[in-house]
Structure 1
Amino acid sequence: MRTEAQTSMHILMASTLSILSVILSLITLSMMWELWMIPLIIISCLAVWWLHIGRIGSDLLYENICTGLLLIEFFFFGVHHTTLYDIPLVACVVLLLLSLLNRKRLLYMAAALYASLLLYHALVLDNINTSLTEQSVLRLLMGVAAVAGAVTVGRYRINRRRKEYEKYASMQEQLAIAVQQNADFLSNVSHELRTPVNMVIGISEVTLGKDISSEVRENIQSIKLAGKRLSSQINNILDYTEIVENTLSAAKEAYKITSVLNDVITTTALQNSSHHLELIFDMDPRIPTTLIGDAEKISHVLNILLENSLKFTEEGGIDVRVGFRRENYGVNLTIDIKDTGIGMKSEQLDRMIDDFYQADSGSRRYVGGLGLGIPIARGLLHAMGGFVHFESESQQGLQVHITIPQGVEDETPCIIVPEASKLCIACFFKPERYSRDEVRKYYDDMILHIVEGLGIEGYQAHNFEGLLKLQRDHKLTHIFIAQTEYMANPPYYEEMAKTIPVAVIAEKSFTLDEDSRLKVLRKPFFVLSIVNLLGVTEEDTCFEEARAAGHRPFTCTNVRVLAVDDEEMNLLVAKGVLGSYGIQVDTCLSGKAAVERCAETSYDVIFLDHMMPGFDGVETLRRIREMNNGMYKDLPVIALTANTISGAREMFRSEGFTEFIPKPIERSVLERVLRRVLPEHCMVYDTGTSDTEPLSENPEEGNTVSAIEEKVSEAEDIRHRDDPVPEDSNTETEKSSRSYGSLVRAGINVGLGLDYCSGEEEFYLEMLQMFHDQEAEKRSELIALYDSANWKDYAIKVHALKSTSLTIGAEELSKQAKALEQAGKEENVAYIQENHPLLLQMYREICESISGI
């Protein structure tokens, strides 16, 4: 892309060349020189403008063509008998123009051409001879001096620009270094903060599982909430540093936009619980069912922008409109977010892209945050090839326009209503109850888009008389009414529900009588809620998957899996986590043993370690796929790996894996993969939650925790409170705290370890003991490989230590093992020799701290 300065210079060159060409053509015509040159001059000018406007060729090619034409026209003008004393004027113009290109050799070429023309006039045309008058000689000398001066000035300008460029390049390099140092500092600080913060969260969770008084429990809950909020900010800083370091890589995998929106809706609804704003999610039902892109990044961007709107909106509501435009590569996913907040001034909009900028950054600011949300959202969109645009006026809300290019795997509309022509719905909302006119328009537009997108007949009533008229004039099949409208006349709607399905759009706290015939659709009002009430099957929409994405608890029936890892500790974790879902788990310690197991037993899924001695994950996968004439070619094989680099999913898929799960295993990631690879009939969901009620998700947790899991946790808390209190309960609590304190002093992140062990303290203690018991054997293996300089197997062993140490929360040891793993792969012997003793020392200190619990 040409810079603005280059474009201006090219226009100046083309314009000057055109003016000189016109003048030269007129002179040629009047002096009756070689007239055949006029068409050539005109064609040359048109060609220059054609190259410039069409941006054809490189900048260097364009500049060389312009320079060549200038010198040719200069030569043509100078070779004529009558132009001897006019040559310096043209030469100075040419030299001045060429000095813009920062190439001194072009100046020397023009000066040499001028000298050649003087020799031509002297030796061929005999215009310069001994018969010249003093006046003629002075004119020649003045011309030579002018040209020499023009060359000198041109050289000075070029030298000065080069020095300024070097100065600016140096400043830019220093600025880039400063930005990188700032990012490194933030990353280091974030990692240092994460350890104590995760410990605070982990200890809080452990304490909440004990028998404590209600007052202490409330205080611990506050501590846990504050820790999660700080953890969220730390995660934002880490995202920011990744963007600054330009290490982001967007995934290209199939996903359903309905699942993404359902996640965003549940998160935003939870955040809105204290704001009480109207949330409207308006989606075009005709969006293709399966898109290809990075669903996680899209979800993150939406959560950031919606959280920003929630912060700065005190009354009214927020409207999210998701649509699409067809393109030759697939579609452009378009997302428009509007709110009724305080808005922004034009100067604030100009600074929105600045890192750490906050519109209310003063002593009176009323919302928190680091000012990184918008830069992170822009960085994520940039990684996906998309962009974001903001529009606003003070006190008139903010409008965000997002466009993201996406591929298309399944062109079928994401929501289809069978026999839509037979449906006729009515929506009853009183617009006057909304404090802002914008909210009324948000709802009106959404209902219109739903009706048009689904292809059903639909009407809207703004008062009770209008609803009665719709009932008289149309054969309604479904009626949707707002909570306030229902409360005004419950008996009427209860009677109506005997003959026609009636749904109440209500707040989360609203409940109906047990014998009520009405359905409750929880806010936010969303097209999937309507489709679910209309009785559309899973095959017709993506609602079931979207509902599953709400993280409802589930178990897996008649599912048998094989977990393969060369580390017994990793297998124990995998067996414990997978077993909690009712899955039958077989394990083996090598790729060769995995191939033998597959020959004997049929499995539904295989979890396969990527780095193992002997048969590594790729070789094991290849052999399994080729067994019995390819009977396992479609078997889901999940890569287990501690390498979670950006773009890992694409790398593992290119090697033949179905999916990948980072080690240590996180429940939220595991659940998402299980939903993706297991047939629906194998998933048995908890039926304790209404299908029409969106599930909540805590947005401040590092790992996703469903609303149902929160309720189960609360039930456990109640059970603990109801249990008889043992006499030494306080002593036990203090003992637990002292035990974990010894781990913390050794640098172990107890909260992280508990998280990887599903929050089960006994399971975590078992992992710690196993880590300690394996220390002597693992240390001996590392030393033997180090002494024999077997760097390939050394890298595999420290890779295993990297994941097992992270499982117990030993982050620094895991980080050190990761660095040595990379050094082993690169055979960086000097680095290994320098850091191997440190690794062993850290390993020993960690195990000694474990022995003290």
Structure 2
Amino acid sequence: MTSQLPRVRILLIEDDEDDYILTRDSLEQLPHWQVEVVWASNAGEGLNQLTHQHFDLCLLDYQLGAHTGIDVLRQINQSDSAPPVVMLTGQADSQVDEAALDAGATDYLLKAEVDSGRFIRSIRYALARRDMQREKLERLRAESENRAKDRFLAHLSHELRTPLTAMLGYTELLLSRAPAAQPQQELHAILRNGRHLLSLLNDVLDLSKIAADKLELNPSPMNLASMLSEVMALTHALALEKNLALNFDCPAPVPQMILVDATRFRQVLINLIGNGIKFTERGSVTLKIRYQPEHTSCPLQLSVQDTGIGIDSAHLDKIFQPFEQVEDAVRKSTQGTGLGLAICAELVQRMGGTLNVTSAIGQGSEFFVSLPIGDIPDNPLHVIDLTGERANWQRPAPLKLEGRVLVVDDMPDLRDMMQAQIRHFGVLADTAANGQQAVELAFAALDNGQPYDVILLDLHMPQMDGYQAIRALRQRVDDIPILALTAATLKGRAEQLHAMGFTDMLAKPMETNQLAGVLQHYLAPASARQSEGNWLLVEDDPDAAEATAAMLEMQGISVDVVHNAEDCKQRAKHHSYARIIVDLGLPDQDGLSLLEELRASDEQVDLVILSGRELSDELIAPLNISLVLQKPLFLEQIQQLSKF
């Protein structure tokens, strides 16, 4: 039936009306299409029609008064949306044929052939070319839109993560310093809601990556016990806030190692445990692990069981679909965005596993993750026992490291916040506002024989960005770890940055525990000399001692304080200090004679004089003094002292 045939609009540019009628009649009798013919009697009219209307095909006469079809064809093909063009001529001419094809014509036909089989084949070929052209344009348009979306997501990620980095970082610093009398509850509320905002941002970006097939997995051998301990430690505080028990159950041996993307594995478990805690008001949340080698494809079985509100059976089939929210039957409300479980399901599937759930209203839910363990030789089985680590979940030991780090970021808040976080671990940290400053500082440190141990380099900065800076740095700095700070973590990003010379990539915002993990990987732990108060301050005035110690601790330096020479000698006898700062005006002994005794007992310790008067070089030269500071001390002097 004619109504079922595909519709084709053809523009016929022909200045001879008789030829137009003959060609139109032939076109309308074509068996495979329902043809609509639009006639243009001259070149100008034809070009105007093509500009304002859509056509599937153009038939173009070679002779159009003062114009040739070749001239018109070139004008037609200046448009990306031009239809395919078949040139028509009254007589055969191989030169015209070749010129038409060179100018972009799909085919070249004699007018005498319009009722022949060759004419039908030419029309079919031209329309096929049209379809290919449309598909190409659609593909290019889609690729352009995807690139635009990627740029937007990268920009959005950067713009949102940058203030979150400062907000979370400074809140954690305040919590680590604030005494009990200060507003701990309010700070915890800021931190909790900031982390929630970050998790929402991560979910939206992950879902966008999944939709664009840009979510990247990097499997590598992972110690299962270490990862599970880390997950339990990270989620333990959430359970404590709701007075819930967080349990771990591993009754039988499991593999020591599995081949998996550790970051995404952690993300799945934290999400499932976090959901369990969110929807449980009393009782417990339990992480279980089993090894079932008879399940050859996915022998590792993990599950998260809670005693919470449960999920209605009608919703179980849709629970892993995006934007499906869990309904709280008690409060008659929904919670969350419905993205977390959908992302977990996609991640587990990409790891080669499965994610399932069983639940009953009022009795709780249990989510089951089945995963392959990968091919890892010499992979023994053992029972994972985390009982002894529970104390660390509640009160982790303070981390103390040593080394020098350069933080490079154009945002002052982020720069200062990361510097404060790093100094909190006892590490010396300098900052630069752009790549040029970073290169100058790094090369100066290298020339002084005190190179940085780690450089944290933001990618997007004025004057010289991170991409330019890494090229300059790697000309002289081969072995120093340089880590890229970026808010965009799209597929293939890590490989691109590694090829440029970066050692690793860190996603913004980075919480204190994540930064600690990075620093632990690249820096050495504090030596025994620094383990018990790495500096000793000898100052008889209590107020001056307290102020000086506070400023030093702001720089991440652990300080012991004594108020007289005798206490100083006792401390130095039983503890190793990297640096001792001595006020010369002590009540029980002259400061210079105390310094002589300290130097005689330890040739390596740095000795610093704190004095309210000027001292001659002849007086202090025999003592091998590292530095002389004049009172009163200001924060700028303390900062310089911490870098000395």
Q: Provide TM-score, normalisation by structure 1.
A: 0.36
Normalized per residue, which structure has more helix? 1
